[in-house]
Chain A
Amino acid sequence: MKINDVILQTITKAVSFIILAFSIFIFLAGHNNPGGGFIGGLITASAFVLLYLAFDMEFIKSVIPIDYIKLTALGLLIAVLTGVGSFIFGQPFLSHTFGYFDLPLLGEKTELATAVIFDLGVYFTVVGITMTIILTIGEDQS
């Protein structure tokens, strides 16, 4: 049976970008407002899942050519390296710091924190894991 999913596909085309933008917002807002790497990663993954649901799997694979297992590895690597990075400054593992900088476009006294780099690792890992699990189960045609 061929399902007519024109409506779903049309909406997905618009909505998925809104979700993706929102997920990045949530990720960056994390330090001071609700959000963070974990939620951000999940929302990004949900945008991807929506795409996979609305369109053909092979098609989306060619549009988003990401190896999610490698993405997981990258995320874990970022998280661990952030921890190791504090050794360079003679601090115990996973020490974080933050500071306020005047940056163009972003305005004065923008806060930059090393915790965000760690959170980025969490973000990548969560996207990678969710997509790996969903795609492996989804692709399993037997």
Chain B
Amino acid sequence: MSFLHYVIILPFIFVLLVPFLYKYFNKIHTGWFILTLPIGLFSLLMSYLPTISDGQIIKHDIGWIPSLDIHFSVYLDGLGLLFSLLITGIGSLVVLYSVYYLSKESEKLNTFYTYLLLFMGAMLGVVLSDNIIVLYLFWELTSISSFLLIAYWYKREKSRYGAQKSMLITVFGGLAMLAGFILMYIMSDTFSIREMISQIDTMSTQSLFVPAMLLILLGAFTKSAQFPFHIWLPDAMEAPTPVSAYLHSATMVKAGLYLVARFSPIFAGQGEWFWLVTGFGIVTLFWGSFNAVRQTDLKSILAFSTVSQLGMIMSLLGIGSLSVLANPTENAYFYAVATTAAIFHLINHATFKGALFMMVGIVDHETGTRDIRKLGGLMSLMPITFTIALIGTFSMAGLPPFNGFLSKEMFFTGVKNVTQAEFFNLQTWGILIPVLAWIASIFTFVYSMMIVFKTFTGKHQPEKLQKKAHEAPFGMLIPPIILVSLVIVFGIFPNILTETILLPTVTSILPSVLDGYGVVSEISHWHGWNLELFMTIGVIAIGTLLYLTMKKWKSIYKLFPDRFSFNRFYDRTLVRMEKNSNWIMRKHMTGYTRDYLVYIFSFIIMVLGYVLIKYTTFIWPAEQFLAPIQTYEWILAISTVLAAAAILKASSRLTAIILIGVVGYMVSLFFVIFRAPDLALTQLVVETISVALFLLCFYHLPELRREMRNIRFRITNLLISIGVGVIITFIALSVQGVNGLESISRYFVENSYKKAGGDNIVNVILVDFRGFDTMLEIIVLGIASLGVYSLIKLRLEGRDSIHENK
């Protein structure tokens, strides 16, 4: 265990402490205790910044399931460090913010912080794991914790809807990604990303390469809310605002970007990779910003804005992948500027969007609404919040001197350079990329202005607000103030980032290109009167015009009928799926035990019979394996058969129960004769207990009725009972007939004392050699007993309501 392992595991250990902290220190807000964790981890990770800036990497391995090549291996490079700093850094601010946002009197803080810590640990696991199976595990854990956090106010219908939607979409993508990972394993014979990168040459020629890429991209696109999977993100805004700021803007939705960046060394240079990543990114960028303008809820605007910004970063990562193909290699920076811009904007987005979410949370908290039609004129009432909003939105709109301006300029440089590329048909279609990017930027400008001016200027309408608006408590303002300070600091001194974090990160995304060419150049504010600057000026001019004339052109949104929206499609698919599954279930789940037994037994007959016939496994036992049958064995066998046959004729339930008991005791006598004392003992006790169980509930059972149904019913029964009998007899005989194979019992005989220190082989197998089986078996038994318990208890309590539903 290295410190990196503890970075991932510590949040999970804290989860165990949360209930106790919540219960025994309820005078203090639980958030204060939790706050120490992300701050501590952030400082710890910061101390590794110099090492990583020097271009070193840190790697540690622990075997987890070595036999399956699954190792809990952690890997810290520029990319991993950047993300873990974001997770812990924004995490600290969000926890601090939540202390003021969630009141300790009325909210269930223990569940909130449990989920939040689960998420933090899982997210750190995603960005620090090198083994893709471990990565996948943490990936799904982020989806689950996100689900739980969105549904935090689970009594609201919309929260549940949003939570389910996000879960279905992201887990669907996650499963696709798992399939992609397995394909990668088939090609490279390793689960380690490092080792895959060293095998690119042999992998890229294989036929599974493109399918694997598509599946992995599906995972990344669903997680990062790319068009058309973006529909879950706006609905996820039902979560408490700290959660939206943390998961759905700064960290979790960036996991998809992380995945694309992480797999860039493997896939970069492929035409499909470039077109998919850039194409989906640009379309998402446009669609997100275009739709943000029509929203009236502040959080919805921010949600669509996040969708759009994620698309922008995605497209930049796609453009950056062209640098692998650049010729001569010195030209690589021509395209790699896009990757630098992507990473730079990723940091900037976390700062200004985090601040904006917190700002919206404050407005919501202090006025009781987020609807821009009700808000207005808050500037004088909430001056500090207004300042935060102003800086955040101006940075988002790409105005100088904030950091958003710099990354927006670099973005324009990136998309401009694409048009000069000479591969993948870019000469003809490439021009679309800068055009869409520019139009999207105009809409970005418009909604940014909407956020700040519709909320804070204009006429104050106190009669529409639930609360009397006033400035937020100071503690709630600290986190967004820290973030907007960073917006300004990164805006004025962007080069504190270049050498320290941008260069190592870009190097881990494009290792083959940048090795030896320290090509992340200085970021400067002034490049002269070039195309990028004119593009920005155009954005501001047209954006201002559109903002002022919004009433006139807003009707174009009505051109897109709701009937054809992706949301409607999702809802209808869900309803149809439920209907169809219901129909399938009703068809075969009749509620009659007899029907289920028919399914089970016919399945046994078919599968076992198929194997017997197909592989001709049946061998009549050879003469030397057959022992003579003793008289008492005859007696036992005949009594068993007689008892079994008598059950059919039993007229009362009591007789039937006793006869079943007789069969059971006979079988245990067989175990005694054939020297299996453990089995005999178990069988005896099981029989005793089940007879006792029958006696206990005997009075409640209905009168035994002979089911004299039609002839078809009886013939089915006859066929199935004969079938099972014949098949099992044949199998029992062929077990004796197999003589070529060596029995595995020899191994247990030799090793049970030597290796496990036990003389009783059966017990040693149960608890040691096959201990894992036993553990899972008792878990299954436990679940079954809970099932019995809840079926009976719930039936008692809910009987009336169930009948009403019928």
Contact = CB atoms under 8 A, between A and B. Distances in A.
Interface of A: 26, 30-39, 42-43, 45-46, 49-50, 52-53, 69, 72-73, 75-76, 79-80, 83, 92-94, 96, 98, 111, 113, 115-116, 118-119, 121-122, 125-126, 128-130, 132-134, 136-138, 140-142
Name the 10 nearest CB pairs between A and B, nearest first: A98-B757, A32-B759, A34-B677, A138-B696, A42-B685, A129-B785, A31-B758, A36-B763, A115-B767, A132-B785
A90 B496 CA distance: 43
Contacts of A126: 778, 781
B13 to A, nearest CB: 13
A8 B767 CA distance: 37
A106 to B, nearest CB: 16
A130 to B, nearest CB: 6
B681 interface: yes
A93 B776 CA distance: 13
A125 to B, nearest CB: 4
A119 B774 CA distance: 10
Nearest to A43: B685
Contact of A96 (B677, B688, B767, B779): B767
B741 interface: no
Given A30-B760, A133-B788, A140-B792, A46 B692 contact: yes
Contacts of B677: 34
Contact of A80 (B688, B695, B767, B775): B775
Contact of A133 (B695, B779, B785, B793): B785
A133 B789 CA distance: 7
B782 A140 contact: no
A126 B764 CA distance: 18
Contacts of A128: 782, 785
B775 A83 contact: yes
Interface in B756-806: 756-760, 762-764, 766-768, 771-772, 774-775, 778-779, 781-782, 784-786, 788-789, 792-793, 796
A134 B692 contact: yes
Contact of B782 (A35, A38, A129): A129
Interface residues of B, number: 43
B697 interface: yes
A26 B764 CA distance: 15
B682 interface: yes
Contacts of B272: none
A122 B789 CA distance: 20
A130 B772 CA distance: 21
A74 to B, nearest CB: 11
A115 B758 contact: yes
Contacts, number: 156
B189 interface: no
B208 interface: no
A31 B760 contact: yes
Interface string B75-108: 0000000000000000000000000000000000
A42 B689 contact: yes
A76 B758 contact: no
26 contacts: A31-B758, A31-B760, A31-B763, A31-B764, A32-B759, A32-B760, A33-B760, A34-B677, A34-B681, A36-B760, A39-B678, A42-B689, A45-B689, A49-B689, A49-B696, A69-B786, A72-B785, A80-B775, A92-B63, A92-B66, A118-B775, A119-B763, A122-B778, A126-B778, A132-B785, A137-B693
B767 A133 contact: no
A39 B682 contact: yes
Nearest to A29: B760
B693 A133 contact: yes
B435 interface: no
Given A39-B685, A129-B785, A134-B689, A96 B768 contact: yes
A137 B760 CA distance: 35
Interface string B672-685: 00000110011001
Nearest to A72: B782
Contact of A122 (B688, B759, B772, B774): B774
Contacts of A80: 775
A80 B688 CA distance: 29
A113 B760 CA distance: 13
B686 interface: yes
A135 B688 CA distance: 16
Nearest to B781: A129
A137 B696 contact: yes
A41 to B, nearest CB: 9
